[in-house]
Amino acid sequence: MAGNRNPGRWLTRILAAIGLVVVLVTVTPVDAWWAHAYSGPIEQPAGDVLIVLSAANDDQRLVSFSSYWRARYALMAWQSGGFKTIVISGGNGPGMVNFLVAEGVPRQDIVAEWQSHSTRENGINTARLIQGMPGKKVLLTSDFHMYRSIRVFRKLGIDITPMPIPDVLKQAQHWNARFPAFEILVTESAKIVYYRLRGWI
């Protein structure tokens, strides 16, 4: 009899633990704390070359939520007047380029590659694109993604300054978006562990 009760008891405990996590994520600022830990200070440094990473789930015609915010902040950085070139890396299509051009960024001032399908590939392919480009390089990506991406670029020998933009931090402002943001952070944490094991960061 005791053996028959154990599976039910363990299932109850697991469901209770899941419920507790959902409640904690929903009612506490754990997402914001975690995102800040990965982003560092949210600042807008000046520079000459702005490198923007697109999100992995873009398609040929549309940009994802993360890519949209990266493009919006890239536009604001461009409008500040300091940058001479925008380099876009990653994704499967020209969605971010089209957005920036539609908002007034001259197409000849944008350099893009759409072959990268990982953060490491972003770094490798961007290194080729910016070879010979003079001036200070600034990397723009989402708050949760900055910790891993800045380390990938620096590991590849690229001297770069971070410009994290609020992404998960925006989602964390709304209680019904906090658990999806939490899932993003958990996934990113797993990727950080993988990249460390591979020696890429």
For the entire predicted model, the pTM comes to 0.85
Cα separation, 117 vs 56, in Å, equals: 7
- Contact, 88 vs 115, CB < 8 A? no
Q: Which domain CATH number covers 63?
A: 3.40.50.620
Residue 162 lies in a domain: yes
pLDDT tens string 71-118: 999 999 999 878 999 999 987 668 899 999 999 999 999 999 988 999
Q: Is residue 144 part of a domain?
A: yes
Phi, psi of 24 (to 5 degrees): -60, -45
pLDDT tens per residue across span 125-161 = 999 999 999 999 999 999 999 999 999 999 999 999 9
Range of the domain at 85: 35-198
In a domain? residue 173: yes
Q: Where are the strands (E) in the chain, listed by range?
A: 49-53, 85-89, 110-113, 137-142, 161-165
12 found inside a domain: no
What does the alpha-carbon distance between residue 172 and residue 147 come to, in Å, rounded to a whole number?
18
Whether 97 maps to a domain, the answer reads yes
The pLDDT score that the predictor gives to residue 69 is: 92
- Position 160 in a domain: yes
34 vs 7, 22, 38, 150, 193, CA distance in Å? 34, 16, 7, 17, 15
In a domain, 19, yes or no: no
Q: How many domains does the chain have?
A: 1
**Of 171, 136, 168, 118, the residue nearest 49 (C-alpha):** 136
Q: 56-76: per-residue pLDDT in tens?
A: 766 656 778 888 999 999 999
